[in-house]
Amino acid sequence: MDRYAPLPTDEQLNAIGSELGRATRFERRIIGGLGGTVDVLIVGTDPGERVVLKRYWLPESEEISPAESEFRALALAADRGISAPSPIWIDRVGLFPERAIVISYVEGAVLLDPTDPNDWASQLADALIEIHLIQPASTDRDLFPVLAHTHGHQSETETLAALRRHPLGMELWARREEILASLEPEAPVYVHHDFWPGNTLWLDEKLVAVIDWEGGAIADPALDVAYCALDMQLLGLSEAAEVFVEVYRQHSARSLENLRYWELLALCRPMPDIAIWVPGWHAMGIEISVDEARRQHAALIAAALE
């Protein structure tokens, strides 16, 4: 399918309205992100209530449905009182060719230039600790896969193929293999698997929601910590990244013994070219060129290899 799904048709909007019990109309599309299409709808009249229609790029297959995964994850988050959208409706009748859900709209905006980076980082750490306390039921195991240490956002085969196309890729792979042999046992937890500042919403510099829950899994908690810290570094907030890790350690009482390994694996995520992340950053107001993004990524890899 195309980068974005077509706008919802009048027939589809009417069908959603029938499911929700109120007339529904299209308001606007949210541009950015790498996981699918996000549209804001208005339910009801005078003035109505905003909801969010999410459709995912992944085709129908035997793989885990991101719609089912996010819908269940949001229900689990609500059970713990975690600030996140609420699940409203899931398309199990094929109204859309894409997998689709409707969730509540949360008023807020992404915050990537906080006036107090340390407080911002602390709020992110505390939110992640709460996420890691989610307890999926035994019946949820098909929705949240158990990740091996070798598994990042791609399979090991896909990661290795991508690393071969980057000048520092194979050196990074070799260092990762060295550390893999000495990993400490770590009790797995529910992980968000895409926790970074761009997937959070803020009002008056207070965290009001964590979004994009379709990738939930069971893994070492250091996975989420490493991924978020790397994104902070790429945003030029290295000190905040250190605060984030330290607050997480202190408030969770987790030592994160395997953090170094997951930091190396996090650096593999945008391989072979971090340029794929740049359009999403631009959509969030981050002014960075492809060349600068590549330089920052290469510098972080070089530092990790020292």
Q: How confident is the model at residue 222 (pLDDT cuts 50, 70, 90)?
A: very high
Pairing relationship of beta strands 189-191 and 49-56 according to DSSP bridges? unpaired
Is omega for the bond preceding 47 within 30 degrees of 0, making it cis?
yes
Looking at residue 181, its pLDDT comes to 85
Q: Looking at the domain assignment, is residue 112 inside a domain?
A: no
Contacts of 65 (CB under 8 A, 6+ apart): 56, 58, 99
DSSP characters for 31-78?
---SSEEEEEEEESSTT-EEEEEEEESSPSSSSPPHHHHHHHHHHHHH
Looking at residue 34, its pLDDT comes to 65
DSSP characters for 241-291?
HHHHHHHHHHHHT---TTHHHHHHHHHHTTTT-GGGGHHHHHHTT----HH
217 and 91 within one domain? no
Q: Looking at the domain assignment, is residue 285 inside a domain?
A: yes
Looking at residue 149, its pLDDT comes to 72
For residue 93, the domain's CATH number is 3.30.200.20
300 and 175 within one domain? yes
Q: Which domain holds residue 40?
A: 10-104
For residue 145, the domain's CATH number is 3.90.1200.10
Q: Looking at the domain assignment, is residue 110 inside a domain?
A: no
Q: How confident is the model at residue 224 (pLDDT cuts 50, 70, 90)?
A: very high
Which tokens belong to 163?
A: 């690393």
Looking at residue 159, its pLDDT comes to 78
Looking at residue 151, its pLDDT comes to 61
300 and 181 within one domain? yes
Is omega for the bond preceding 272 within 30 degrees of 0, making it cis?
yes
Amino acid letter, 209: A
User: Kind and range of the H or E element at 25?
Assistant: strand 24-30
Share of the chain above pLDDT 90, in %: 75
On the question of pLDDT at 1 being above 60, the answer is no
- Per-residue pLDDT of 27-38, as tens digits, reads 999 987 667 899
Q: Looking at the domain assignment, is residue 3 inside a domain?
A: no
On the question of pLDDT at 24 being above 70, the answer is yes
86 and 141 within one domain? no
249 and 222 within one domain? yes
The answer to whether the beta carbons of residues 295 and 273 sit under 8 Å apart is: no
Rounded mean pLDDT of the chain? 92
Contacts of 23 (CB under 8 A, 6+ apart): 17, 43, 44, 45
Q: Looking at the domain assignment, is residue 111 inside a domain?
A: no
Amino acid letter, 47: P
Q: Looking at the domain assignment, is residue 153 inside a domain?
A: yes
On the question of pLDDT at 295 being above 90, the answer is yes
284 and 195 within one domain? yes
Contacts of 299 (CB under 8 A, 6+ apart): none
85 and 125 within one domain? no
Which tokens belong to 267?
A: 């650096």
Residue ending a domain, among 56, 72, 104, is: 104
164 and 87 within one domain? no
260 and 281 within one domain? yes
**Of 47, 299, 32, nearest to 168 (Cα)?**
299
Residue ending a domain, among 38, 72, 104, is: 104
**Of 54, 217, 252, nearest to 136 (Cα)?**
217
**Of 143, 137, 12, nearest to 71 (Cα)?**
143
**Of 226, 237, 223, nearest to 121 (Cα)?**
237
Residue ending a domain, among 59, 81, 104, is: 104
191 and 97 within one domain? no
pTM: 0.92
- Per-residue pLDDT of 257-294, as tens digits, reads 999 999 999 999 889 999 989 988 888 888 899 999 99
145 and 46 within one domain? no
The answer to whether the beta carbons of residues 226 and 265 sit under 8 Å apart is: yes
* Cβ atoms < 10 Å from Cβ of 250: 11
- Per-residue pLDDT of 133-153, as tens digits, reads 999 999 998 999 998 776 655
Q: Looking at the domain assignment, is residue 4 inside a domain?
A: no
53 and 122 within one domain? no
Alpha-carbon radius of gyration of the chain: 20
Looking at residue 108, its pLDDT comes to 97
Q: Across the strands, what pairs with 282?
A: none
Looking at residue 58, its pLDDT comes to 59
On the question of pLDDT at 69 being above 60, the answer is yes
Domain total of the chain:
2
Looking at residue 60, its pLDDT comes to 52
- Per-residue pLDDT of 234-261, as tens digits, reads 999 999 999 999 999 999 999 999 999 9
For 199, phi and psi rounded to 5 degrees?
A: -105, 35
Q: Looking at the domain assignment, is residue 178 inside a domain?
A: yes
- Per-residue pLDDT of 137-196, as tens digits, reads 999 989 999 987 766 556 677 777 888 989 888 998 899 889 988 888 889 999 999 999
User: Kind and range of the H or E element at 298?
Assistant: helix 290-305
Looking at residue 29, its pLDDT comes to 96
On the question of pLDDT at 207 being above 90, the answer is yes
CA distances from 274 to 112, 171, 281, 282, 290 (A): 18, 17, 11, 13, 8
Which tokens belong to 250?
A: 């202190």
Amino acid letter, 229: A
Q: Where are the alpha helices (DSSP H) in 187-237?
A: 222-234
On the question of pLDDT at 83 being above 90, the answer is yes
